Structure 1
């Protein structure tokens, strides 16, 4: 006689104590604890498809509102949102639930919070699953400097038909396969900035700066490009990686934003006559308190709908459209969101829930996470280059820009995630993995959880 599935219990909402005040959580099911951590700009509700599936499979599934979101505490101080404080919140949730350990699963910023939780508190978090954003060990150059260098998303600067703009941040160095050049990379455990600008023909120098830098040449997939890797460590760069020269941006098969018909980025002359890109990377745009809030808060529902649309596979901008991860100087992110359509996963009632929380709380708490990246860099200096050794899992969307920017981090997983039990790239999927592809995500998560040591 076949076994009937265990019915999923009704979700329970409650608040538990944390170092900053209170954390709101939604709990469903009984069994080993699985802690679900959302990203920006979302809430516990992003896990609505996973909570019942995990509960039905015999797990105690708990989704939190991260500090500053939803019904969790939202301290006024910007520096109250540093990464180690969010880790402390996760530990407090586990303890408040009467548990000694948990599996932690995160998406987007939640993936980074989950990874740091596993890295710094392996005594509490026995396994970690990352959705959307790969693990990049702490270290390397100051994040604000890296993101500032990512300004000016567009085509190649200089000769050639239109070298696409493709910048990677994080660990792993340049470790593509094949290729006919060899140069210094940033190393498997370093954090680096890999900018792709250049022409469509001819061997160009690859320069790596750091503790043991080297120079060399590298042939890109469609024309050779000059690239730069910045960060400590060593590592050979041999070939293509994910960088593709030519007219398209590797993030999602799009031309670089701000590029003209020749593929060159829109630029202007600075005070010293240097070329200054018009575009600003969204992380840099979020840094100044109040700036992004003034764009978003007058129409939270419309802005969120546009943001979700821009990053989802079935509704993201097509070839030729400006990249929504960049802001034209003096402009807004919203100007680059696609109009007149929504992703299939985003129903009206889903948008009601997601927008309703931000309409009540505002966006400052959520945006303050971005405003602590340099503090995190300093706080985690003692973990520079450190791997996560617990059992791990990665699920990414093939059309997610994060996967293109951090492709080298995925390549470095044998060194950075030695306990990796599975790495899954979902074709035709964008950034919101567990909402765009809930059934596939649930199957992968449940198979992985079943394979974990007791």
Structure 2
């Protein structure tokens, strides 16, 4: 970037989240950051007045062109404009800038993005100011169903059909299209029957009082270049967003927030919005809220720039000197001691066992089914003895962590989200990750979703498979009802079967697996088919088995089984990662007698180079042992892990 003066606007692009994001920036590079998110049909330029005011007060104003706009990338696929993509761009931009927490200001669609950033990643937001669009909790009906009563003349309805609005807009020059939107003064954006909304809107003959002809030309030049399809795709993804955000049903915004609206905003009277705000409905969903209703219309930050600047600055100054995040309280750090604590993150309480010096390179150990942090006891001791900081959480649903009742709370997004939130809680930018079984799946997805947070990964037992063309449940259908994953799908079924045995016996049945495919004979439940050895397992003491049994007795198996029940949902939600490779350096360790080695062509996939093609920076080690390898063959696994991590441990972690 060029310089750090308060007056100059600096422009640059960042390759983040699969797109190139153009950013305009103003103010000192070491100033408190304010991220400004524009709406439709706007650009970074809509914040020109706020950027100057913020910079003059020592803030660092960062205003991106959202994907589809201006000088940022314009993906062709409408599916690339989901709220997950847009918020993902914002988070990736913060990571690119090595910013843990920022102030966020959003207008119109940018307000929607800002609210969802607060909803998904509250740990990254110090406080938020939104203009024009209040936060609405997820409705029980989809957006298209909600708006159906307004008929075909409603602008959002017209925007749904690919190409329809673009063809209508093309009857006018770009500057006229923009002026038609910028000068809206009526309340409900609904055209008469048979009329396109752009034909219904009027363009004033005289210049708008709050935008110069030169500024309008700057907007027009960019929309002439990139078109309106990208921005319109935001609307076309509204139903998809509704489906994808099911896990956040009923969620509130916990970030401190200020909402600013113009008293003549086009949306003030629509859909009961004015009543929702004034009656306290918004406050109930955003508890730490201030509201300011001021004179003006929809494009408030441009029309009433000085008043909006004053509202923003007075609010941000309340927080500008606050500490970014809380610190964890830890006990002594002797290498051999296991310290246990909980962190309230990502909407749950996560229990963590830790060993080794807190200043050592962090290694995150992610357990599988049916395990808990204790499955890493041997690795924790070995890592701590070598100066690493071993962190082994109980995943949600396990041990002393929260056990959400809703099966939807166990998607891969939730689990990976817990880990990212844990890293943020500990102020760890990058860590080594080691995962086994379901923990391997979680570790692979952490590498997939957030490679910027992983220095290197070691995976035990479960290789990385790219997203298939069909859901796993369809792929497994041919194995019949006796296949364990198929039996696990039906809520309560496995729990009832497990209930025929004491908890320790259930665990031993799984821990002693030596068959290859977990398929019971017809009409037999998998737990009845599995054998529990009469003698103790050679790699687990009765005391250790008792520790496992105590926790599963307390929590039950429903939480862990819900991971399997979310497989199809995970497949649907991970569509944006179809064909994606793991770019993080990785080592895959597999027992030659692992229950899954012969299943589904796994052995051929690993040995023929299929896995390597999807994880280019990969090492593979096949060793003697079965599935619960880190407990059964602890010393060998320790050696494999340490030899791999030592290659990276002395490298400086980078953001």
What's the TM-score bracket when you normalise by the shorter of the two chains?
Answer: 0.5 to 0.7
Unaligned runs of 5+ in 2: 324-655
1:24 corresponds, among 12, 22, 25, to 22
- Maintained 8 Å contact 2:106/2:113: yes
Aligned equivalent of 1:76: 76
2:212 aligned with 1:347: yes
2:361 aligned with 1:363: no
| TM-fit CA distance, 1:94 | 0.9
- The secondary structure found in structure 1 opposite 2:225 is helix
2:311 aligned with 1:444: yes
Aligned equivalent of 1:195: none
- Maintained 8 Å contact 1:133/1:403: no
- The secondary structure found in structure 2 opposite 1:382 is helix
More helix by share: 2
TM-score under structure 1 normalisation? Answer: 0.66
- Maintained 8 Å contact 1:389/1:418: yes
Quickly say closer, same or farther: Cα 1:14–1:384, change in 2 above 3 A: same
- Maintained 8 Å contact 2:154/2:190: yes
Distance, in Å, in 2 between the alignment partners of 1:351 and 1:101 is: 33
2:289 aligned with 1:289: no
1:426 corresponds, among 294, 300, 305, to 294
Count of aligned pairs between the two proteins: 310
1:331 corresponds, among 191, 195, 204, to 195
Aligned equivalent of 2:286: 417
Aligned equivalent of 2:60: 60
Aligned equivalent of 1:179: none
Deviating above 4 A after TM superposition, structure 1's stretches of 4 or more consecutive aligned residues are: none
The two structures, once aligned, show a CA RMSD in angstroms of: 1.7
Distance, in Å, in 1 between the alignment partners of 2:261 and 2:144 is: 25
Task: For residues 282-315 of structure 1, give each alpha carbon's deviation from its aligned partner in whole angstroms, at most 9, with x where no partner exists.
Answer: 00010001110011134211111122112xxxxx
Unaligned runs of 5+ in 1: 1-5, 152-278, 311-315, 318-322
- Maintained 8 Å contact 1:134/1:409: no
Aligned equivalent of 1:248: none
Distance, in Å, in 2 between the alignment partners of 1:137 and 1:103 is: 22
Distance, in Å, in 2 between the alignment partners of 1:7 and 1:284 is: 45
- The secondary structure found in structure 1 opposite 2:58 is coil
- Maintained 8 Å contact 1:147/1:284: yes
| TM-fit CA distance, 1:327 | 2.4
Quickly say closer, same or farther: Cα 1:431–1:57, change in 2 above 3 A: same
- Maintained 8 Å contact 1:68/1:366: yes
Distance, in Å, in 2 between the alignment partners of 1:21 and 1:353 is: 23
Distance, in Å, in 2 between the alignment partners of 1:11 and 1:342 is: 25
| TM-fit CA distance, 1:150 | 2.0
More strand by share: 1
2:34 aligned with 1:34: yes
- Maintained 8 Å contact 2:24/2:63: yes
TM-score under structure 2 normalisation? Answer: 0.46
- Maintained 8 Å contact 1:34/1:105: yes
| TM-fit CA distance, 1:325 | 1.1
Distance, in Å, in 2 between the alignment partners of 1:280 and 1:337 is: 12
- The secondary structure found in structure 2 opposite 1:48 is helix
- The secondary structure found in structure 1 opposite 2:87 is helix
| TM-fit CA distance, 1:64 | 0.8
| TM-fit CA distance, 1:408 | 4.0
- Maintained 8 Å contact 1:396/1:424: yes
1:388 corresponds, among 243, 253, 258, to 253
Relative contact order (alpha carbons < 8 A, sep ≥ 6): 1 or 2 greater?
A: 1
Task: For residues 59-96 of structure 1, give each alpha carbon's deviation from its aligned partner in whole angstroms, at most 9, with x where no partner exists.
Answer: 11001101100111111110100001100000011111
Distance, in Å, in 1 between the alignment partners of 2:130 and 2:188 is: 23
Distance, in Å, in 2 between the alignment partners of 1:333 and 1:440 is: 31
Distance, in Å, in 2 between the alignment partners of 1:292 and 1:112 is: 21
- The secondary structure found in structure 2 opposite 1:123 is helix
Distance, in Å, in 2 between the alignment partners of 1:333 and 1:341 is: 21
Aligned equivalent of 1:305: 179
| TM-fit CA distance, 1:343 | 2.7
